[in-house]
């Protein structure tokens, strides 16, 4: 079920969901326009799969968002209400977000009164005070999910960085309960005054039924001319903080070591792809890079299975990248920077290899080691699959989240009510 704009029809959605059930009703708030719920981003996947897992567990999730997105074709199992932001560029990024969040908060009140959720689950969004206001008005239990401090991550877009930093500290510091994806984020949240007992570390997760070694990458290899080559794969955006520019130096270092390798990059918008293709040509490395562009989520597992090894060139030190767990679920080893959140999710030499962040020589050495040892790659891929199934599947993550929600809301688990 999906809708655009707040209307009487959407109020009906909320009322219908609230009727006739004793399971938990969860209002999922995502005021960030940069998270298209039905989009191809890792953050989009995370929101969708959390809500789908909540539904599979017998609960009802209603998503109130700023950007519904349009990529995922089958959204019949999701209840979505969209409050689209203003599009005027003259306002600037900050003012556009501030104005949008006022509209979003008004819509949230109407949805809340129709849906009457047992729990509010809010994805932390810049300048969004909506969850804080709902708690103050209705005294509902709320969990704030913090994946990053956005005033840092999006600092290059801000006209009023000082206000964005204050907003981040205010919203996070006054949250009653917080879910974080890594230990560094837990420390940062605790430093703002949230009791550690109210901060729950839950790294990202993957749909282990969708990402699986049973899927084949042969068609993708044939389509992109990858047969016979050592394929170093990446899935995600081509933005600067993902470290894509490091790959040009790594490619130079690999040329005398590996006979025929290629960086296979899946994702990115057309403008960034064109810029990287131009740079690869200028450096004489055009044959070492294949840009597949953005692909639908349903096809991503086949693209990962076309890779011999997967990479995370760089990320923020607090990040727990969704792509890591998807790589692992697909049974492909990963080479990644030695950041705390990634070290928590991957054992050195067992599921992949680490390099010191930004050290291109170490990065190249890790790739060379795996290129020369296909048996090791196969063993690491199997270990990675086993680990993510046991520890980082989306259903396991949501089961832990449900326990917290039930405790905060005072709701008895559905199975207990049937006894």
Which architecture, in CATH terms, is 218-391? 3-Layer(aba) Sandwich (3.40)
For 353, list phi and psi in degrees, rounded to 5. Answer: -130, 150
> What is the reported pLDDT for 417?
42
Q: Note the pLDDT of residue 15.
A: 52
Q: Give 327-386 pLDDT, tens digit per residue.
A: 999 999 999 999 988 999 999 999 999 999 999 999 999 999 999 999 999 999 999 999
Which parts of the chain have pLDDT scores under 50?
Answer: 1-5, 8-9, 12, 20, 414, 417-419
> At a CB cut-off of 8 Å and minimum separation 6, what does 342 contact?
312, 315, 319, 320, 321, 324, 336, 354
For the chain, residues classed under CATH 3.40.50.2000 are: 2-205+394-417, 218-391
Q: What fold, for 2-205+394-417?
A: Rossmann fold (3.40.50)
Task: Retrieve residue 197's tokens.
Answer: 């007992």
**Total-model pTM:** 0.88
Question: How many beta carbons lie within 10 A of that of residue 215, not counting itself?
Answer: 17
Rounded Cα distance, 184 and 180, in Å: 9
| Per-residue buried b or exposed e for 99-132, using 16+ beta carbons within 10 Å of the residue's own CB | ebbebbbebbeebbebbebbbbbbbbbbbbbbbb
- What pLDDT shows up at residue 14? 54
Q: For residue 335, count CB atoms less than 10 angstroms from its CB and return exposed for 0-12, middle for 13-18, buried for 19 or more.
A: buried
Distance CA 125, CA 152 (A): 12
Q: Which DSSP string corresponds to 335-387?
A: EEE--HHHHHH--BTTTEEEE-TT-HHHHHHHHHHHHT-HHHHHHHHHHHHHH
Q: Cα(293)–Cα(313) distance, rounded to whole angstroms?
A: 17
Q: How far apart are CA 24 and CA 196, in angstroms?
A: 26
SS3 content of the chain, % helix, strand, coil (to 5): 50, 15, 35
CA 233 to chain CA centroid, nearest Å: 18
Cross-strand partners of 180: 146, 201
Dihedral over alpha carbons 250, 251, 257, 259 (to 10 degrees): 150
Q: pLDDT at position 91, please?
A: 72
- Pair of tokens at residue 233: 């794969």
pLDDT at 319: 85
């Amino acid at each position: 079920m999906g809708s655009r704009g707040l209307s009487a029809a959407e109020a009906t959605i909320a009322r219908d969901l609230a009727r006739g059930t004793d399971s938990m009703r969860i209002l999922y708030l995502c005021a960030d326009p940069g998270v298209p719920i039905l989009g191809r981003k890792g953050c989009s996947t995370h929101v969708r799969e959390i809500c789908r897992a909540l539904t599979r567990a017998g609960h009802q999730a209603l998503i109130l968002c700023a950007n519904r997105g349009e990529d995922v074709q089958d959204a019949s199992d999701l209840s979505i209400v969209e409050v689209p932001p203003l599009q005027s560029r003259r306002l600037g990024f900050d003012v556009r977000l501030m104005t949008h969040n006022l509209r979003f908060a008004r819509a949230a009140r109407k949805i809340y009164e129709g849906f009457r959720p047992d729990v509010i689950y809010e994805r932390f969004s810049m300048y969004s005070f909506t969850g804080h206001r709902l708690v103050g008005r209705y005294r509902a239990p709320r969990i704030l999910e913090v994946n990053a401090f956005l005033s840092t991550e999006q600092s290059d877009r801000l006209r009023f960085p000082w206000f964005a930093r204050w907003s981040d500290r205010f919203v996070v510091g006054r949250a009653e309960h917080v879910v974080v994806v890594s230990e560094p984020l837990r420390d940062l949240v605790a430093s703002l005054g949230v009791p550690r007992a109210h901060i729950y570390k839950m790294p990202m997760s993957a749909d282990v039924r969708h990402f699986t070694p049973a899927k084949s990458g042969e068609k993708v290899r044939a389509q992109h001319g990858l047969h016979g080559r050592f394929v170093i794969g990446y899935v995600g955006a081509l933005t600067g903080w993902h470290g894509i520019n490091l790959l040009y130096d790594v490619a130079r270092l690999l040329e005398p070591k590996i006979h025929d390798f290629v960086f296979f990059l899946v994702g990115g918008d057309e403008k960034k792809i064109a810029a990287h293709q131009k740079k690869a040509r200028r450096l004489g490395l055009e044959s070492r890079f294949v840009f597949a562009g953005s692909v639908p989520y349903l096809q991503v597992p086949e693209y990962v299975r076309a890779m011999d090894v997967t990479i995370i060139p760089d990320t923020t030190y607090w990040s727990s990248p969704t792509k890591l767990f998807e790589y692992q679920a697909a049974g492909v080893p990963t080479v990644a920077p030695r950041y705390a959140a990634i070290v928590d999710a991957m054992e050195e030499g067992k599921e992949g290899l680490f390099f010191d962040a930004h050290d291109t020589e170490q990065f190249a050495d890790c790739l060379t080691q795996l290129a020369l040892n296909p048996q090791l790659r196969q063993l690491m891929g199997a270990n990675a699959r086993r680990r993510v199934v046991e520890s980082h599947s989306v259903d396991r993550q949501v089961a832990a989240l449900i326990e917290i929600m039930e405790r905060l809301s005072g709701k008895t688990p559905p199975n207990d009510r049937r006894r």
